[in-house]
Amino acid sequence: MSSVFDIATGVQERAWSVIEDADIIGCWTSVGATINLVGSLKMGLLISNRDIDFHIYTDPFRLSDSFSAVSRLAEHQAIRSINYTNLLEAEDCIEWHAFYEDSLGDIWQIDMIHLLCESPYAGYFERVAERICAVLTDETREAILTIKNSIPTEKRVKGIEICRAVIEGNIRDEPSFWKWKAQQPKKELLLWVP
């Protein structure tokens, strides 16, 4: 039986193959963007959800650059669809969600958030990932991966919630996670840093 670490390693290797095959980084750097990996893959905590997260910056910000980068990505044969949301007025960003079908027929969601450089969120989630990585131990990493792997994919849970439950709440299993989650205020989790 594979350990949770082995399972996570396999999933993460597949995620990196998606990034390389689709040339996601190249698509964005072709328009002069800085593209930063954030989220579970950045922290080595990707296991069950096939979701890859990037935060992207251009200076100056031009909407046309965002469309140019994504149109290049859209030309890749494995990209099945791309969604766009303009949140410039509400959240200082453009959201792109691309869906890539790998050779096994699995769909990977690639979230690309193109942020204004002056946004209060600029660099924030990169720092969150660095802090989580800095405080993880083998034991907390195993607990996070085990809980993530136990939750059915149809129950959408933010990875940051699981990280907080394990690191701050000392939660170590899925049933305890659900009890912990039910007691947490909803909005506070978004801005948690260990």
- Chain-centroid distance of CA 120 in Å reads 19
Task: Write the burial class of residue 183 (CB in 10 Å: 0-12 exposed, 13-18 middle, 19+ buried).
Answer: exposed
pTM value is 0.93
48, 84 contact by CB (below 8 A): no
Q: Where in the chain are the domains?
A: 4-121, 127-191
Instruction: Give the whole-angstrom CA distance, residue 87 versus residue 54.
Output: 16
pLDDT at 188: 52
Question: In this predicted model, what pLDDT tens digit does every residue of 91-144 receive, in sequence order?
Answer: 899 999 999 999 999 999 999 999 999 999 999 999 999 999 999 999 999 999
Instruction: Give the whole-angstrom CA distance, residue 45 versus residue 6.
Output: 12
CATH superfamily assigned to domain 4-121: Beta Polymerase, domain 2 (3.30.460.10)
